[in-house]
Structure 1
């Protein structure tokens, strides 16, 4: 019995030592590339505001639609194992982070540990923010602390056992996370390093665009090859010419990032629309160009469920702006009627769009995706964002149409403008509604 006890004690000691060894943190401060919008000589709050926007903090920490106060948290993230709610990051001392020290804030972003010592879930992208320099992290903190305080209690995560055991995140971190700062590649131009810092640390593009493994950790071997998140497809943005953005021009990529639209390529909506509205549109042209230069070099990957874009879908090309192509009606009678009633006046029958270029459909990946995730979500939720003093708007039809009608409309749009056979079902639409 004593021998068994000694063995158990030894196992516990070794296990604990291994646990803390694998969760050791990098105490280096790191030297971040100097961004055009946040020069080192700028005032602290000026730098902090630019960096906070580049990091898109407001998108996750604010309930949209005027239902929540800026940075007060409460936005739900529905995950395979439960729901997590973003936290209040205003300087309110009781419900926010007003009592956090500089070291507390840095530890949260670098190591995923709260001021009370409890571990954060990686829905908060500390796995990307860990690469931020300490100076940039503290500039963000200074800006957040300059904003109005909001008293709003945080909502506890709705997770079942064992996912509700925050301490167990230590094992996840040991397997899938490394606390480390950004290291510039001396063999690359300064602009490339600036772009990589923007994409990997501040903008944390991989958090949405990279596939997840069985443990919900990012699959580094398929970096930026596309993933489905919150009911939307975050598309492949590797340099793959067929399935990614390798065939896009620099101007097209920059336009999409900073305005949410690239002619003949895509119009942003959903989470990407939020990223454009709250973050990317504010990048200085030099920083946007740097981001493009880095994305150009991301290794090409086909990704899962690749989308082949038919930029010259015969049905749409054959149609005039004012009349449908008759040969798309077969099997899509209901969808055609719905499109005629609610969509054609803005999108036009040839998909070129009217009044706003954002309404163009031809050549976009959404209408070329038989799965129809993004087309369905756009029908259900609509689009509403403000970019460069322009209101981009599409009404939501979720309350007006049944699941069967939404499925019919989505499949018609995919056939008409993508030359594909859509697979959207009423059951799928119901799931999309629930996200």
Structure 2
């Protein structure tokens, strides 16, 4: 090699060292996949805003938390964050400057991620176009907006740790557990919380109200709510992929999860998640004795149902396969309390439009068409008709849900 070639090679090496290693395309692609599975864009993109630029309000019982900018802008995003900084945020719940992060960012789930997956997501986020989007100050009430409160919370409820495969379970089951407990953070919605917002653990999916949203994330352990142990595996995989399958459709916040997260799962990961979710230990929450609707209320509800609902759901609640769900034996109809039923009646029900099911049927909202008494009568009727056995609904309950937007 001539001295000119040697000098050129040395210069290239020096330039490469100054610029850092060239991006690993495979790592970025893997990070893009993982970011979709985790639905990172869902929380870190506000309505009408630029992808991953933050600003969306995350409601909590203690005030709103605003998701930060994840694009590589050096002043307002992750431009100065190293892979180690990003790992510390996911694994330890600490920002680049050492501040403790709010657990509205579900690092008690993300702590289970492997370092390799964390690095891949970081590489992907670094590959995005930089967007200048300064962070919005959180709207948490005192003392929840203090580092001291976060320190106490973490001392009581948080321990970092990676996912460890469970002995005796096959790789697919463990992959499904890793995704569901960690990256997909299913328990962030489906896990119950105590008075300080802490959950029993990432593998508890026994149901919880979603603060500030007016929806209930049903138990994945209870067959009467959202347990899937009795589903065919193919149906569950289809439901996760498209939002619609023979047993029902994803509505409300879960429709957003399918659209932003689970529809992107690869075939092996779909099967792994389905296998894990179908293996969850059964739990049945005690239910209050159903209060029968007065005959006049049932008559009013039946008349209103025939006028407004029967053309789609059938005179006897049989529904139309592939279009409108049956109401006879429908878990959302029978759930206690009737939170999700009333939310659908008020706001409408819309399954996600996915490549596998691009034109789903939807239900229009009735909040502006029927008053509280009429909606309560319909809800009471369908909860006690055709063999359904659930409590009557009062107009006050409808009014309370109407006030929650």
Q: Deviations over 1:175-230 (max 9, x none)?
A: 11111111122432111111111111111111111211232111249811112213
Instruction: Determine if contact 1:407/1:429 at 8 Å carries over to the other structure.
Output: no
Query: 1:402 and 1:114 mapped to 2: Cα distance?
Result: 48
Query: 2:39 and 2:289 mapped to 1: Cα distance?
Result: 27
Q: Deviations over 1:135-177 (max 9, x none)?
A: 1112112222333333333322222211111342122111111
Match of 1:382 in 2: 348
Note closer, same or farther for the CA distance 1:307–1:137 as it changes in structure 2 (3 Å cut).
farther
Note closer, same or farther for the CA distance 1:420–1:156 as it changes in structure 2 (3 Å cut).
same
297-306 or 172-181, larger mean C-alpha shift: 297-306
Note closer, same or farther for the CA distance 1:242–1:355 as it changes in structure 2 (3 Å cut).
closer
Query: 1:169 and 1:90 mapped to 2: Cα distance?
Result: 26
Note closer, same or farther for the CA distance 1:419–1:42 as it changes in structure 2 (3 Å cut).
farther
Task: Identify the match of residue 265 of structure 2 among 283, 289, 299.
Answer: 283
Task: Identify the match of residue 425 of structure 1 among 373, 395, 399.
Answer: 395
Q: Deviations over 1:364-383 (max 9, x none)?
A: 31101242110111123223
Query: 1:343 and 1:63 mapped to 2: Cα distance?
Result: 34
Match of 1:147 in 2: 128
5+ residue gaps, structure 1, are: 1-40, 309-326
Q: Deviations over 1:310-349 (max 9, x none)?
A: xxxxxxxxxxxxxxxxx99841455445444443333333
* Pair 1:92-2:73 in alignment: yes
Match of 1:11 in 2: none
Query: 1:72 and 1:196 mapped to 2: Cα distance?
Result: 30
The Cα shift of 1:237 comes to 1.1
Instruction: Determine if contact 1:267/1:358 at 8 Å carries over to the other structure.
Output: no
Query: 1:186 and 1:209 mapped to 2: Cα distance?
Result: 25
5+ residue gaps, structure 2, are: 1-23
* Pair 1:55-2:38 in alignment: yes
Q: Deviations over 1:244-288 (max 9, x none)?
A: 33333323332332222342x332111111111111112122211
RMSD: 3.0
Query: 1:279 and 1:115 mapped to 2: Cα distance?
Result: 27
Match of 1:350 in 2: 316
Query: 1:84 and 1:224 mapped to 2: Cα distance?
Result: 23
Query: 2:342 and 2:170 mapped to 1: Cα distance?
Result: 42
